[in-house]
Amino acid sequence: MDFGTLSLRRKIAREAANLLYSGFEKEYKQAKLKAAKTFGAHLLPTNLEVAVELDRMASENEGSSRIDRLVQMREEALVLMQILKEHNPVLIGSVWRGTIHHNSDIDIIVYHDHPDQVLKLLRHNNIKIMQTERAAVTKKGKRNVSFHIHVECPAGEKAEIKVSDTEEATVKTKCDIYGDLILGLRIEELMKTLKENPKQRFVPF
């Protein structure tokens, strides 16, 4: 691959990252397609290439305040997870990875066959419910339905709690961005991270 092609790939990845960072696009695929169209190109960077540019952009624009917020978001996540502890919560997404930016929220997954019970638990603990929705995703011919609860944490951060069926608890999912397994952090692991290295990143490079 010659330098010109590499340069174009980088430009497309950077533009896709900018679309994600600015909130004009929510999904990597659409951001890449729109960025490629901007440059009149047909080649697409990988999700990882876009993620690297997005991470770089957040660092450039947000500086040290980004790291301070990461720690605060992990502390907020722990509060929510302790409320949800009976449902084996796992912290995933950019707060787990350590790659947050200004539009990031907290992503937590729990496993329960009755989402209304999770809602009841959150309300009982005075967690503000912003929105609820059902989402269906089909992968390799299998359709999975999950219930999503959007909340506002006590300190003001936004969080999305994904409630999946209990049968999904042992299923290992590959990350569409980094290519590794989505392991996340459970309560004890998050507590250890906050105590020993609260700024730790969990990315495969």
pLDDT digits (tens, 9 = 90+) for 41-73: 989 999 999 999 999 999 999 999 999 999 999
Residues 109 and 187 in one domain: yes
50 domain-assigned: no
Residues 170 and 90 in one domain: yes
Q: Does position 3 have pLDDT exceeding 60, yes or no?
A: no
Residues 16 and 89 in one domain: no
For 23, the domain range is 3-45
Kindly state the average pLDDT of the residues 4-28.
Answer: 90
Residues 101 and 150 in one domain: yes
Using CA atoms in the order 9, 33, 139, 81, what is the torsion angle rounded to 10 degrees? 80
3-state SS class at 107: strand
Residues 179 and 98 in one domain: yes
How many domains does the structure of the chain reveal? 2
3-state SS class at 116: helix
205 domain-assigned: no
Residues 14 and 80 in one domain: no
Q: Does position 150 have pLDDT exceeding 60, yes or no?
A: yes
Instruction: Tell me the DSSP string of 164-193.
Output: E-GGGTT---B-TTTSSB---B-HHHHHHH
Q: What is the structure's pLDDT at 143?
A: 67
pLDDT class of 145 with cuts at 50, 70, 90? confident
Kindly state the average pLDDT of the residues 131-160.
Answer: 84
pLDDT class of 6 with cuts at 50, 70, 90? low
CATH of the domain at 135: 3.30.460
Q: What is the structure's pLDDT at 203?
A: 95
57 domain-assigned: no
Residues 135 and 187 in one domain: yes
Q: What is the structure's pLDDT at 141?
A: 62
Residues 73 and 163 in one domain: yes
Q: What is the structure's pLDDT at 154?
A: 87
Give 99-137 pLDDT, tens digit per residue: 999 999 999 999 999 999 999 999 999 999 999 999 876
Kindly state the average pLDDT of the residues 181-199.
Answer: 97
Pairing of strands 158-164, 106-111: parallel
Residues 92 and 191 in one domain: yes
